């Protein structure tokens, strides 16, 4: 595995003007880094700011009000309180210094989710934003399918895209995150979220002005800062894409730390997690994927030859939450 030196920035307007070049850039970033920034990604900055405003309003509610929407791990929807999640229990057992709220796709398939007023009164805006995120993810998946040169007879460039439909069952969520300011500056052991990889296929991360995201450079345990890039969305690959490609595409470990210059400021971010639901984690039919390569997975197989994306997600969630 190569050591990551930098996180590439890709002008995603190339998806329309030069799709082959765009696909190659995305594919190379997915293989070599597992993280990249997209500029000109098609979602207006004003729309992103609108959702950030709703997020801030939610987290300003009382604890009692927020816990009315307490998360159900099986559904992976609702409110997760401060310290309820432990991304890296071996190193940060007291839990991550953050709280979050998960919103499902507002499509025709999902059952209505109980939501507080700031979301229900702006339901069209929230739904349009989630749909726009899913559309962007679909384009990135097409780039990856193109880069893998999947034969048309076996799904072609749409191989990943078609396993992540907007309608139909999936575990996609929009995750709103609030990381409070650190009020005990001498506690060097605290962390906003510990070392982890994402559990699904792709993540779109929208960051405000307070950063702290770091990407693991390689096996040596060194870290590379992933600063906030104005007018960009940060994209990273999740475990399922690594499993589908037998490790060719990279689900890179990352964390969010307290930076000395911003640790007294709260951090807000939003992540759209695209997750394959019932899609089977079977090897991609590509010349890039050796037939005899081992699939690296932490999952117990339970006598099943092929697992699903949901199997992996639920396995990870049950080891992440504290009750």
Q: What is the mean pLDDT of residues 298-311?
A: 63
Q: What is the mean pLDDT of residues 99-114?
A: 89
Domain membership flag for residue 2: no
Check pLDDT > 60 for residue 253.
Answer: yes
Check pLDDT > 80 for residue 24.
Answer: yes
First to last CA, the chain: 37
Q: What is the pTM of this model?
A: 0.93
Check pLDDT > 50 for residue 302.
Answer: no
Domain membership flag for residue 290: yes
Reported confidence tier of residue 129, pLDDT bands at 50, 70, 90: very high
Reported confidence tier of residue 210, pLDDT bands at 50, 70, 90: very high
CA–CA distance, 194 with 190 (Å, rounded to integer): 9
Check pLDDT > 60 for residue 323.
Answer: no
Q: What is the pLDDT of residue 299?
A: 47
Lowest-pLDDT range of 6-10, 42-46, 122-126, 258-262: 258-262
Q: What is the pLDDT of residue 301?
A: 47
Tell me the percentage of the chain whose pLDDT exceeds 90.
69
Domain membership flag for residue 4: no
Task: Give the best-scoring range by mean pLDDT among 11-25, 176-190, 219-233.
Answer: 11-25
Check pLDDT > 60 for residue 186.
Answer: no
CA–CA distance, 190 with 258 (Å, rounded to integer): 8
Q: What is the pLDDT of residue 108?
A: 81
The 3-class secondary structure across the chain, one letter per residue, is CCCCCCCCEEECCHHHHCHHHHHHHHHHHHHHCCEEEEECCCCCHHHHHHHHHHHHHHHCCCHHHHHHHECECCCCEEEECCCCECCCCCCCCCCCCCEEEEEECCCCCCCCCCCCHHHHCCHHHHHHHHHHHHHHHHHHHHHHHHHCCCCHHHCHHHCCHHHCCCCCCCCCEEEEEEECCCCCCCCCCCCCEEEECCCCCEEEEEECCCCCEEEECCCCCCEEECCCCCCEEEEEECHHHHHHCCCCCCCCCEEECCCCCCCCCCEEEEEEEECCCCCECCCCCCCCCCCCCCCCCCCCCCCCCCCEHHHHHHHHHHHHECC
- Say how many C-beta atoms besides its own lie within 10 A of residue 77's C-beta: 20
Q: What is the mean pLDDT of residues 85-94?
A: 82
Q: Residue 110 belongs to what domain range? A: 9-320
Reported confidence tier of residue 250, pLDDT bands at 50, 70, 90: very high
Q: What is the mean pLDDT of the chain?
A: 90
pLDDT digits (tens, 9 = 90+) for 137-157: 999 999 999 999 999 999 999
β 173-179/193-196 pair status = unpaired
Domain membership flag for residue 213: yes
- For residue 177, the cross-strand partners are 100, 269
Reported confidence tier of residue 300, pLDDT bands at 50, 70, 90: very low
Among 278, 215, 292, smallest CA distance to 247 is for 292
Check pLDDT > 80 for residue 294.
Answer: no
Reported confidence tier of residue 182, pLDDT bands at 50, 70, 90: confident
Domain membership flag for residue 26: yes
Residue 69: partners with Cβ closer than 8 Å, 6 or more residues away? 78, 79, 101, 114, 115, 116
- For residue 304, the cross-strand partners are none
Tell me the CATH number at 233: 2.60.120.330
Reported confidence tier of residue 163, pLDDT bands at 50, 70, 90: very high
34 or 73, higher pLDDT: 34
Q: What is the mean pLDDT of residues 131-137?
A: 98
Domain membership flag for residue 301: yes
Reported confidence tier of residue 322, pLDDT bands at 50, 70, 90: low
Q: Tell me the C-alpha to C-alpha distance, in Å, between residue 111 and each of 17, 103, 114, 176.
A: 38, 12, 10, 20
Q: How many domains does one find in the chain?
A: 1
Reported confidence tier of residue 187, pLDDT bands at 50, 70, 90: low
pLDDT digits (tens, 9 = 90+) for 265-283: 999 999 999 998 888 998 9
Domain membership flag for residue 3: no
Among 305, 300, 304, 303, smallest CA distance to 316 is for 300
């Amino acid at each position: 595995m190569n050591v990551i030196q930098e996180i590439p920035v890709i002008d995603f307007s190339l998806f329309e003007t030069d799709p082959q070049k765009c696909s190659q850039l995305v594919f190379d970033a997915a293989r070599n880094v597992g993280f990249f920034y997209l500029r000109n990604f098609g979602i207006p900055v004003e729309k992103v700011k609108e959702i950030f405003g709703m997020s801030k309003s939610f987290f300003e509610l009382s604890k009692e009000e927020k816990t009315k929407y307490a998360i159900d791990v099986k559904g992976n929807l609702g409110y997760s309180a401060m310290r309820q999640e432990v991304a890296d229990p071996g190193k940060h057992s007291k839990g991550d210094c953050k709280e979050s709220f998960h919103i499902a796709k507002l499509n025709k398939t999902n059952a209505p989710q109980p939501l507080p007023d700031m979301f229900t009164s702006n339901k069209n805006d929230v739904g349009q934003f989630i749909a726009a995120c899913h559309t962007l993810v679909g384009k990135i998946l097409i780039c990856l399918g193109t880069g893998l040169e999947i034969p048309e007879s076996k799904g072609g460039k749409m191989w990943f895209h078609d396993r992540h439909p907007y309608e139909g069952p999936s575990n996609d969520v929009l995750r709103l995150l609030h990381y409070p300011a650190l009020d005990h500056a001498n506690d060097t052991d605290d962390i906003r979220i510990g070392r982890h990889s994402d559990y699904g296929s792709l993540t779109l991360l929208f960051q405000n002005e307070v950063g702290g995201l770091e990407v693991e450079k390689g096996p040596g345990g060194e870290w590379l800062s992933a600063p906030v890039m104005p007018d960009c969305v940060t994209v990273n690959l999740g475990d399922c894409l690594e499993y589908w490609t037998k490790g060719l595409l990279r689900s890179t470990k990352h964390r969010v730390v307290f930076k000395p210059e911003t640790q007294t400021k709260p951090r807000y971010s939003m992540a759209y997690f695209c997750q394959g639901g019932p899609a089977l984690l079977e090897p991609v039919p590509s010349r890039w994927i050796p037939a005899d390569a081992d699939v690296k997975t932490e999952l117990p197989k339970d006598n099943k030859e092929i697992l699903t994306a949901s199997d992996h997600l639920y396995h990870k969630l049950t080891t992440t939450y504290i009750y």
